[in-house]
Structures are given as C-alpha cells and as structure tokens.
A and B are shown apart, each in its own frame.
Chain A
C-alpha cells in the first residue's frame, strides 16, 4: 500500500514545524559546508565526496515531497553508514593490507620520511645567518641570503621569499607576517629550536635548514636520494640502490630494506600469519578454544543458576519474594567494568578479601595461575551474569500459558513430567534468542577479561603479548598495539576481527534458524 505522496510531505505553508525544519536544515548545511571547505583545505578527497553526498542527501530528503520515509530514517542512517557500515568495510580492507608500524602511510609520505630521517649536514656546505621567528605558536626560521633577500618558513611551509624585512647586521629585526623572537624566548624554547627543520623547497631531495645556536643555519641534505622516474632510492654514501618490493618497502639487491615502508595490499598474508605463523598459530588456537569454552560455559552456568533461582522464587506463597528478587538482581545493576575491577582486587593473591578473609589467609594465586585464572574469570562472570538470566527466566515462567499447565494436570501429569514436557520446552523457546545474544556478548566480553586478568598469565613460549585468559577480542586489542605495549599491526588485528565476525555471525545465523524451527514445533 503506497502512501499518498502529497499528504503532509513538503508542506509549503509557514507553519511552526516548517520553520523548525528550516532552522535545523540551515544549521546542518552550515556545518556541512564548513566541513566540506575544511576537507578541501586538507586535500582529503574521500571525505570531501562523502560529506557532499551526505549533505545533498539531507537536503533532498527534507525538501522533496517524494522522500517521506527517508525523512525519518536519514539521521540514524547517516551515523550508521559512517560509523558502522564504513568502519566494518574498512576493517575488511585493512585486513588485507600490512597497515601498522613501519607501514603507516602512503608511499609518497614514506619516501619523504626516509629522506628526512637520513638528513646529515653536508661537509663544507654554506652557512647563512639565521633568525628564529614565530608565526603564532609555530616556530620558523628566517634566512638572509648572500644577495640580501630574506626567505622564511616553518616546519610545514618550505622557505619562501618575504618582502619588506628589516635586516641589521645579518640578523632579521622585523618580518611581515612573523614575530621575531627575543633571545630569552629562544633560550626558553631551546629544544624546539634545535629540533626544528625547515624544508628548503617542496622537493625533499633539496634538504632542509637546521641550526644549533639559533644564529647560524646549515643546509642538511639526505644521504638518500629518490629518483621518481626510476622509482628507486639511492644511498649516496655507499652507492647502494634500493627498489620497491611487494611488501611495501625499499629493498636492496642483498635483501636489506629501509626502515620506513608504506601500506600495500598483502592478500591473505594476515590470515596465514594467524593460522600458520609459529609465533601466532599456537596462541591463536588456544585462545580460540578458550573463547568458545568461556562463552559456552558462561551462558550455561549463568542460565542454570538464574533458572534455578527463578524457580525457587516462583511461588506466590513465598514471603519476602520481592525482597529476595530485588537483592539478587543487584549485581546486574552494577556497571560491568566496576564489578570486574572490584573482583580483581578481591581476588588479589596476597591482600585480597577472598584469600585473606573467606579462605583464612590462604595464598591462592587466583589471577596468576593459568587454570585458576580461567576459573576465576568464569566465577566472576557467573556473579555478573546470573541476575540477567534470573530476570528473563522469571519473565518467561510467569508468562507460561496457565491453560496448558492445567490441561497437563487434568491429564494426570506429575510435577516432574509437567516440568520436563511443558515448562522447559516453552521456557527454551522463549529464552533461546536471548541465550544466543548472551553467547555473542560473552564471546566479545572484552571488559571483563581486560579488567580482571588483562589476559594474563602470559604464555611462556610466546613472543607476543598474549596470555591464558585472553579471548579473541582482547587478542585483537593486544595485537593492534593500541595500548602501546607491542608494535602496531592493524592489518593482523583487523584480520582477527574478521575471523571473530565470521564465527559470531555463523553461530547466530545457525542458532536463529534452529530457534525458528523450535518455535514452529511448540
């Protein structure tokens, strides 16, 4: 059934609602245009295209008479497309690249970085009088050339000629667009000044100006030169020529490579590393197994305890039922990260409450022994998770159809028989979708693992920062290197994310199909 297209959409009257719409769209357009201009300025063409597309879509949706449903879907859809669909697709792309430390950027930037890193002062190169200047907060150098002209630049802006400078005895005293720094200010920012390099021109092969004493500038040029025509890098001191290889690095004939590389597509290499490389394959297999065990046992244990309590409290004659129920669900109302942190202290080997008070001073290594740490993780997750299962089981038990139970009773079914043949199947039908979501949630329960054990204790044999209680998602976090403990490897981390996604999606799809057949039977 189509909606009549004329009704209510694209009104032309100046009603208050229309004015509100106009103001909101104007606001969105203003911000959008600002972002488009900023993207233009930053030469970020992909973003520019995306912003223009979003902006056009928004204006079309809210002023066209034919886009009624889109008026309601667009706000959420825009966020969904950018922050979910795009990042998922981008994860998929990164998984097939070698993005990470040493391969951080494009080839152009890698070439520039290599040239800059290998800059040396050329012996006997000319020196020129130099003045430290500042453009706002950014420091720069002004150079007086032998012919008398003044050129100035900053770290991002290569030297350019500046007219109208006042020069006194080789030192610039005033410069339009810049502020000349006093000697005291230079002293204060000494480190910044000696670290500063101002490129001589847009071509990195030309080198840069640097200074040691803030009065004399020297030209530094790179010991490497890049030849764009043949796409090779040559070391001028040794004469070795490096050519780009398939891994996104410059490689010499003898196999040595230059340290800075760039991103390239590496095909399935990351997946091969995860499943086949010596350093990762062993830990990965263990972690995969433990992730499954952790998720399955967590769901099963919380469900059983929750169900048991739901049954125990599901008797109208029980006094204080509300009291019990309210107190029992308290762990669910505590944010998970607080609970995990709290338990990590309570399970501390030497001073924790569990060892000191409950076990009378026993020094049980709850979080540092491989087996005990796994038990501890499961135990804490039981505490965190059973109230949720208790809630949904209680809900399901209370909504069981009374007539069916009565019919069973009239047919002579006993307590056990009713429970097994009627209550349990109905309960499972009702809770199965939630059990699946619970499995998916625990499969990625990063907060608990990271806060309780940090994935530890570490594997003895592994050269990578992984441990016995790591699950896949915490492995992704460690491998990505975003916590700063290991080298960054976005490619491998993304590949592992894809593996998790495939596992979770497959299980969800299978399980949902299975529950649908369960429902049809019931």
Chain B
C-alpha cells in the first residue's frame, strides 16, 4: 500500500490534503495492522508451499525458503497411499455432507411446518443432545461397531460406510436448529398457496422449501464437509487398516513417525489436501460467513 495517496480523493467532506499524523491515526495504523496480520496469518502457508517444493524433503532442508524448486515431493506422493486416503476422505466427506443436508433439512421442515404432539419435546431434546459431542463417546462407538460388525460386517470397524453412518448420527443434533430458524423465515403463505393449488407435502418440500432455502443448505453441507474432512479421533479409532485411512489419520502417521524424513512428503500432501477445502472456502466465502453469524446476529 502506498502511503502518499490519502483516500480523501473519494470523499468530498474530507480536506484535500491531510497531515501525515492525522492520516496515520485515521488509516495508517490500519494498514500497519493489516500488513502485520497478513504476515502472521500467511507465513506458515508460505513456508509449507516452499517446503513442499524443496528438493531434499527433510525438515532441516526446508528452512531456506524457495532455495530449490522441484516437484520431487509431489511425484513421490504417487508411491504412497496418499491418493487412496484422499479418495477415502472425499468419499466420506461428500457423503456425510450430502446426507447431513438431506436429513437435517427434512427434520427442520417437519419441525417448522407441522404441528404435532411431541414437537416441543423433540426440539428441546435436540437442544440437549447437541450438548454432548459425539466424539466424547468414541469408546462406546468403538464397542458398538464391534458388535455390529459381528452381524453385518460392512457396518463394523474399518469400513467407510460405518464411518459415514457414525458421522450422520451427529447430523441432526448439530444442524437442525440452524436450518429450523432459517425455514421459519420462509413465509407459510407460500406453502398454503401451493397447497390450495393441489401440491402434496412432498412437492412443497422438494420444489418450494428446498429451493428457497438453498443458501443455508449450501452452508450446512459445506460446514459438514469441512468438519468431516478434518475429523480425526473417531476416524483414528474406527479405521484400522492403512487402505481405509482418511487423510487426517494417514498424514498424522507420517509426521508422528520419522518426522524429519517424511517432512517433504507431508508438506506436499498437506498442500494438495488443503486445496479442495481452500477452494471451496474462497468461492463460497460469502455464504459461509453468513451461515456462521446467522445464529447470532439475527437476534
């Protein structure tokens, strides 16, 4: 940022030339803070990109930023299970995100549009249940899957499907309230009109309510995708063979054993695996920020 052009040009109310001291107390310090904050937020990211391009691939050899640029680490990823893990993670995260949206939206629709006995109790129960984070019960989940696996192996330990099922178990508690509040803002008159025109409740749900609430659905799906992408403890407990690991479990394995030797691999893997989340985040930033604050700012 240049320091000579005061932003006064756009504002007629301000004097044409401000003194440097005045400028600093108004805007200059903000630029200073901005530059410092960007440096603070960004230097680990610059470092990881540089380390992933370093030739040696060791922790020691990665400290001179961009001293060498080679794609050796990225190529080496092909010789590991990295891409399998990437596939596993994407499958699990996409399935969980989609399932969460569908089930959460359906429940929110029912709570928002129908009046039935047990409705208030149901809402209160959800509020209480969501206070118990699912990860706290990982021991019980582990034990449950052992017995489920004896009956239906695909629902037992070491299966992606059962991991998705476990994540979906947490779907209703976390997201129904966010969506419920949003669904309530869609005027009921629209449903009534459709109903008079002969639409069934299913048609109203699929073609009207879901269309009108698309932004919040995107937010919930995305937050769920991101949360699942980085979930570690349950995945670590449930997935036992290297073939079925997710990225979090696999990359942890690289760093915890022989950190120095695997550093190049890890940084390359980190860059590749951060990209999908980063891209989604930057493209849909507006929606995510809206969703984060929806619960509070709306009041």
A positions within 8 Å CB-CB of B: 1-3, 7-9, 11, 17, 34-35, 38-39, 41-42, 44, 47, 68-73, 75-77, 79-80, 82-88, 90-91, 94, 99, 308-309, 312-313, 315, 317-320, 324, 326-339, 341-346, 348, 351-353, 356-357, 383, 387-388, 391-392, 394-396, 399, 429-434, 440, 444, 446-447, 450-451, 454, 473, 476-477, 480, 482, 490, 493-494, 497, 500-501, 504-505, 508-509, 519
**B33 neighbours in A (Cβ, 8 Å):** 308-309, 312
Which of B107, B114, B233 is close to A477, meaning CB atoms less than 8 Å apart?
B233
**A42 neighbours in B (Cβ, 8 Å):** 150-151
**A334 neighbours in B (Cβ, 8 Å):** 45, 274, 277-278
Q: Are A87 and B232 in contact (CB under 8 A)?
A: no
Which of B59, B107, B133 is close to A352, meaning CB atoms less than 8 Å apart?
B59
Interface stretch, picked from B69-77, B79-87, B255-263, is: B255-263
Which of A79, A324, A444 is close to B103, meaning CB atoms less than 8 Å apart?
A79
Which of A333, A353, A494, A519 is close to B139, meaning CB atoms less than 8 Å apart?
A494
Q: Are B38 and A327 in contact (CB under 8 A)?
A: yes
**A477 neighbours in B (Cβ, 8 Å):** 138, 233
Known: A317-B7, A344-B255, A446-B233. A430 touches B114 (CB 8 A): no
Interface residue B245 (Cβ < 8 Å from any Cβ of A): no
Q: Are B34 and A482 in contact (CB under 8 A)?
A: no
Distance between Cα atoms of A117 and B168 in the complex (Å): 41
Which of A69, A83, A330, A505 is close to B116, meaning CB atoms less than 8 Å apart?
A69
Interface residue B141 (Cβ < 8 Å from any Cβ of A): yes
- Expressed in whole angstroms, the minimum distance between the Cβ of A24 and any Cβ of chain B is 12
Q: Are B168 and A79 in contact (CB under 8 A)?
A: yes
Q: Whose C-beta in chain B lies nearest to the C-beta of A36?
A: B151
| Given A76-B104, A77-B172, 6 extra CB contacts under 8 A | A70-B110, A73-B122, A88-B140, A318-B31, A348-B260, A395-B297
Known: A80-B129, A88-B132, A90-B137. A39 touches B151 (CB 8 A): yes
Q: Are A353 and B11 in contact (CB under 8 A)?
A: no
Q: Are A328 and B132 in contact (CB under 8 A)?
A: no
Which of B140, B247, B274 is close to A87, meaning CB atoms less than 8 Å apart?
B140
Q: Are B248 and A337 in contact (CB under 8 A)?
A: yes
Q: Whose C-beta in chain B lies nearest to the C-beta of A492?
A: B139
Tell me the residues in window 202-219 of chain B with beta carbons closer than 8 Å to chain A beta carbons.
202-203, 205
**B45 neighbours in A (Cβ, 8 Å):** 330-331, 334
Distance between Cα atoms of A440 and B282 in the complex (Å): 27
Interface of B is mostly: helix
Q: Can you report 21 residue pairs joining A to B where beta carbons are below 8 Å apart? A: A44-B150, A69-B114, A76-B106, A79-B168, A80-B129, A85-B129, A87-B134, A90-B137, A335-B230, A341-B252, A341-B270, A342-B270, A345-B266, A356-B63, A392-B293, A396-B297, A429-B299, A473-B233, A490-B139, A494-B139, A519-B299
Which of A34, A313, A336 is close to B230, meaning CB atoms less than 8 Å apart?
A336
**A8 neighbours in B (Cβ, 8 Å):** 195, 199-202
Q: Are A3 and B114 in contact (CB under 8 A)?
A: yes
**A493 neighbours in B (Cβ, 8 Å):** 139
Interface residue B289 (Cβ < 8 Å from any Cβ of A): yes
Q: Are A330 and B137 in contact (CB under 8 A)?
A: no
**A490 neighbours in B (Cβ, 8 Å):** 139, 143
**A519 neighbours in B (Cβ, 8 Å):** 299
- Expressed in whole angstroms, the minimum distance between the Cβ of B91 and any Cβ of chain A is 16
Which size class do B's interface residues fall under? 35 or more
Interface residue B296 (Cβ < 8 Å from any Cβ of A): yes
Known: A88-B140, A480-B139. A353 touches B62 (CB 8 A): yes
Q: Are A1 and B47 in contact (CB under 8 A)?
A: no
Interface of A is mostly: helix
Interface residue B142 (Cβ < 8 Å from any Cβ of A): yes
Q: Are B295 and A433 in contact (CB under 8 A)?
A: yes
Distance between Cα atoms of A352 and B282 in the complex (Å): 30
Q: Are B172 and A80 in contact (CB under 8 A)?
A: yes
**A353 neighbours in B (Cβ, 8 Å):** 47, 62-63
Q: Are A324 and B37 in contact (CB under 8 A)?
A: yes
Q: Are A11 and B200 in contact (CB under 8 A)?
A: yes
Interface residue B98 (Cβ < 8 Å from any Cβ of A): no
**A90 neighbours in B (Cβ, 8 Å):** 137, 140, 143-144
- What are the 4 closest A-B residue pairs judged by CB atoms, nearest first? A83-B169, A76-B103, A395-B293, A8-B200
Q: Are B273 and A313 in contact (CB under 8 A)?
A: no
Distance between Cα atoms of A152 and B98 in the complex (Å): 51
Interface residue B44 (Cβ < 8 Å from any Cβ of A): yes
- Expressed in whole angstroms, the minimum distance between the Cβ of B256 and any Cβ of chain A is 7
Interface residue B60 (Cβ < 8 Å from any Cβ of A): yes
**B41 neighbours in A (Cβ, 8 Å):** 327-331, 383, 387
Interface residue B148 (Cβ < 8 Å from any Cβ of A): yes
**A315 neighbours in B (Cβ, 8 Å):** 26-27, 30
Q: Are A72 and B34 in contact (CB under 8 A)?
A: no
Which of A326, A348, A431, A476 is close to B136, meaning CB atoms less than 8 Å apart?
A476
Q: Are B296 and A17 in contact (CB under 8 A)?
A: no
Q: Are A38 and B273 in contact (CB under 8 A)?
A: no
Distance between Cα atoms of A17 and B200 in the complex (Å): 10
Interface residue B190 (Cβ < 8 Å from any Cβ of A): no
Interface residue B184 (Cβ < 8 Å from any Cβ of A): no
**B193 neighbours in A (Cβ, 8 Å):** none
Q: Are A344 and B251 in contact (CB under 8 A)?
A: no
Interface residue B239 (Cβ < 8 Å from any Cβ of A): no
Q: Whose C-beta in chain B lies nearest to the C-beta of A356?
A: B63
- Expressed in whole angstroms, the minimum distance between the Cβ of B232 and any Cβ of chain A is 5
**A344 neighbours in B (Cβ, 8 Å):** 255, 259
Distance between Cα atoms of A309 and B41 in the complex (Å): 12
Q: Are A341 and B107 in contact (CB under 8 A)?
A: no
Distance between Cα atoms of A356 and B274 in the complex (Å): 26
Distance between Cα atoms of A237 and B99 in the complex (Å): 61
Q: Are B263 and A345 in contact (CB under 8 A)?
A: yes
**B260 neighbours in A (Cβ, 8 Å):** 348, 351
- Expressed in whole angstroms, the minimum distance between the Cβ of A38 and any Cβ of chain B is 5
Q: Whose C-beta in chain B lies nearest to the C-beta of A339?
A: B44
Q: Are B205 and A47 in contact (CB under 8 A)?
A: no
Known: A42-B150, A80-B129, A94-B140. A351 touches B60 (CB 8 A): yes
- Expressed in whole angstroms, the minimum distance between the Cβ of A149 and any Cβ of chain B is 34
Q: Are B136 and A341 in contact (CB under 8 A)?
A: no
Which of B266, B277, B297 is close to A335, meaning CB atoms less than 8 Å apart?
B277
Which of A94, A318, A351 is close to B63, meaning CB atoms less than 8 Å apart?
A351
Distance between Cα atoms of A80 and B295 in the complex (Å): 22
Which of A68, A72, A396, A501 is close to B293, meaning CB atoms less than 8 Å apart?
A396
Q: Are B106 and A73 in contact (CB under 8 A)?
A: yes
Distance between Cα atoms of A479 and B145 in the complex (Å): 20
Distance between Cα atoms of A433 and B296 in the complex (Å): 7
Q: Are A396 and B165 in contact (CB under 8 A)?
A: no
Q: Are B139 and A335 in contact (CB under 8 A)?
A: no
Interface residue B171 (Cβ < 8 Å from any Cβ of A): yes
Q: Are A77 and B107 in contact (CB under 8 A)?
A: yes
**A357 neighbours in B (Cβ, 8 Å):** 63
Distance between Cα atoms of A388 and B41 in the complex (Å): 12
